[in-house]
Each structure stands twice: as C-alpha cells, then as structure tokens.
Amino acid sequence: MNRGILNLFLFCFCLILVGPGFVLSAKAQVTATLELNKPQLLPRETFFVRLKIVNFSGQTLVFGEDNNWLQFQIENEVGEVLDPISEPPKVEGRFTVESSIRATKQIDLSSHYALEKAGRYKLTAKLYVKQWDRLLPVNPVKFDVVNGSVLWQQMFGVPLKNGEPSAQPKRRRYVLQKAKNLRMMTLYVRVDDGPGGRVHKVSPVCPMVTFNEPVAQVDPVGNLHVLCQSGARIYNYSVLSPDGVIKIRHHYNIVGSRPRLVFKEGKIVVAGGLKLLRPDDVPSRKNVNEKPKLIVPKAANKPIPIIREPIPEANKRKQ
C-alpha cells in the first residue's frame, strides 16, 4: 500500500515537471522580435516599431482579436520605466500566422511615449497567445535619443481652415535641426508650439552636406520651404505644411547655376539649376490606377509603302 502511494506521488511529480516543458517547447517554436528603422532618434521624433513573428509550432496562431494581445514598455538606461502620455496605440485587428510563416506588425509609438531626454533606451513588449493562454518572450531592442543642433527657427501663425470661426491666431514654430544618423548628417524639421510647448511632429527631410547649411522660408499660408544641398551637386527642395507633413519634394542638379529660393508673383519658387525627375518625388509621379500603355515604335505608325515590280525597258518604249 505504501509503495502504491509512493508510485502515484512520483507519477504526479513527473507530470508537474514535464507539463511546463511542453509549453516551453511550443514557445521555443515561436519567436518574436522588435525592430526600429534606425538606432537613433531626435527627441519627440516620429518612429515606428515592427514586431516580427515567426511561427514553427505546427499550429495556426490568431492575434489581434482585442487591443491587449501586444503591450509595450520603454525603460531608460538606469532601468526606470517611462510613463506613457496617451492611451495605448491601437493594435486591434485580427490576423493569423500559419505554421512556417512570418508575419510583421508595424505600430507608431511616437504619440504614446514622449521621449524628451537624450539617452539610451530599451523597448520591450509582451505578446499574448490566447490559444495557449501564455505570454511569449519578445526580444527587446535598444536605441538612442540624441539632441540635434538647431540651425534655424521661426514662429508663424497657423491659417484658419475652411469653416473655422475667426479667433486669435494660433502660433507655432518651425525648427531646423541636424543630427548624425548612421554616419550621415540628416536634416530634420520640428513643428511645435514654441519653447516648452507641445511638439506636433519631428520628421527627417533629407541627408545634408556639412559644408553648406540649408535655407528656409515661410510663405503667407504658413508652409515651410526648405532648400538643402544633399550631395556634391544635388539639392533637395521640400515644402511642409503647418502640421509637419511633406507636401512637395523635388530635386535639382547644379547646372549653370546653383538652385536658390526666390519670390515670384507672390510665391516662393526655386530658381536656377536643373530640375530632376525621381521616383521619390512628392507628389509621386506614379499613378497606381493607371493601366499600362502599349509602347509602339514611331515607324509602326507610318503606312507601309507599296512596292511594284520593275517594268522592262522594251515595254516602256511600246507604251
């Protein structure tokens, strides 16, 4: 009787040890990692994080049925957890990951966390698998927040939109900053409400050379025009809205003279240089709805000449 009780106890003990092993084995067949577009950011810069899921569990996994399956956390270099400034970003949206398949989910975290101070940070995440009722480990990613050098700044009044009642004009500020990113100097535009005020957007504009600083002007409707030398002979011309959105992006080559910003008929335009056509122009020159056109050689449009057989000389004389 005592031996039977002992065998039952050993059997239950083995089940306790082996049970979590099966869960760990299944979790080892599903890996999740975080990725950023670049390892350095400016304070309050817009940044997206990508979650990559690789499934080799032999099962089809379901994610995104609610907004709790993926949660983020950012720590500073001393291990302090940063408090979010808004509700968690929306990650809801059902999708499945079949076995032997990779899936990627991209999320904008810039509106959820206010990364104001320069330093080293670590981004971690919790991935919940509802089918297993388990949290899966996610490989974290580290990044740096660096302060850029201010090149130029100007306050401006935000124009009223259609239908808005007349009121005291809103004031915002454009700030041009430069920072080294991946061994390359990059020009950024920051739109905020002034020193210590709300930051609306921080976006990279273009790479820039170190020997020629950019030129910026604000037009009467509040758009920012920036002309920046991005290569030995290439200039980038960008126009941004008061919300920090790039509305126009063109490129110019130094031909005859250097490109420059001038006023013409009450508008800011680029004079000098040769305008280039590039696939990254804004607005894009590609029309996704346009049907492919058949390219026919010019010679094919000409009528085919009628070639007659030669007439013998004798026959010509008789006529």
| pLDDT tens, per residue, the chain with 319 residues | 455 554 444 444 443 444 444 344 445 588 999 999 888 999 999 889 999 999 998 899 999 999 999 999 999 999 999 999 998 889 999 999 998 888 999 999 988 998 989 999 999 999 999 989 999 889 999 999 999 999 999 999 988 777 777 777 789 999 999 998 767 899 999 999 998 888 899 999 999 999 999 999 999 999 999 999 999 999 999 999 999 999 999 999 999 899 999 999 889 999 999 999 999 999 986 654 555 444 444 544 555 556 565 666 665 555 5
For the four alpha carbons of 187, 191, 194 and 195, in that order, the dihedral sign comes to: negative
Nearest to 69 by CA among 12, 146, 136: 136
Stated pTM of the model: 0.71
Strand arrangement of the beta sheet that strand 149-158 belongs to: 149-158, 170-181, 184-192, 199-207
- Write out the H or E segment, with its range, that includes residue 28: helix 2-28
State the DSSP code for 183: T
